[in-house]
Amino acid sequence: MFDYIQHLTYWDWLALGTLLLILEVFGAGGYLLWIGVAAACVGAITFVMPELHWAIQSVLFGVLSILTAVFWWRRQRSSAKPSEQPGLNQRGQEFIGRQFALHEAIHGGRGKIRAGDSVWLVSGPDLPAGSQVRVVGQDGVLLKVEPI
């Protein structure tokens, strides 16, 4: 085995890179992609310089693996932009500031409003059903309301 490692060729590195990229296709979540790219790069370097010592090839593989992963991580972080729809997937946020009639009276600090096609649990001061309220906040699935 040690004799094999001492005589690595560019085909070995390209095979390793191909294997890692194939494994990436099966759902590694991006972890093996950059290691596979690094192995392919070492294979290309070994093709150009076949006399490169196996220890230098291994160190080069490790350094390139780290560099490619860090490069991609930084590129992803710098290209992330804030959403044009910041309330997307935050149900209830679109109701803040809007007015609704109470569907069920607020007793003991809890009641319900009908908003769109849903009935929402609300918290606020005790009020009879039909009273107009304004949504002023949200705590999970509970909307906070105040009387108008």
Residue boundaries of the structural domains of the chain: 2-79, 93-147
- Tell me what pLDDT residue 86 has: 67
| pLDDT exceeds 90 at position 129 | yes
Q: Is the pLDDT of residue 50 over 70?
A: yes
Whether residue 83 has pLDDT greater than 80: no
Q: What is the pTM of this model?
A: 0.53
Name all contacts of 70-78 with Cβ < 8 Å and 24+ positions apart: 72/30, 72/34
Per the CB < 8 A criterion, the answer to whether 37 and 24 are in contact is no
How far separated are the first and last CA of the chain, in Å rounded? 80
Residue 134: pLDDT above 90?
A: yes
Q: Which CATH number fits domain 93-147: 3.40.50.1820, 2.40.50.140, 3.40.50.150, 3.30.465.10?
A: 2.40.50.140
**At residue 62, what are phi and psi to the nearest 5 degrees?**
-65, -45
- In this predicted structure, what is the pLDDT of residue 87? 65
Section 94-121 average pLDDT: 93
The amino acid that residue 103 corresponds to is: H
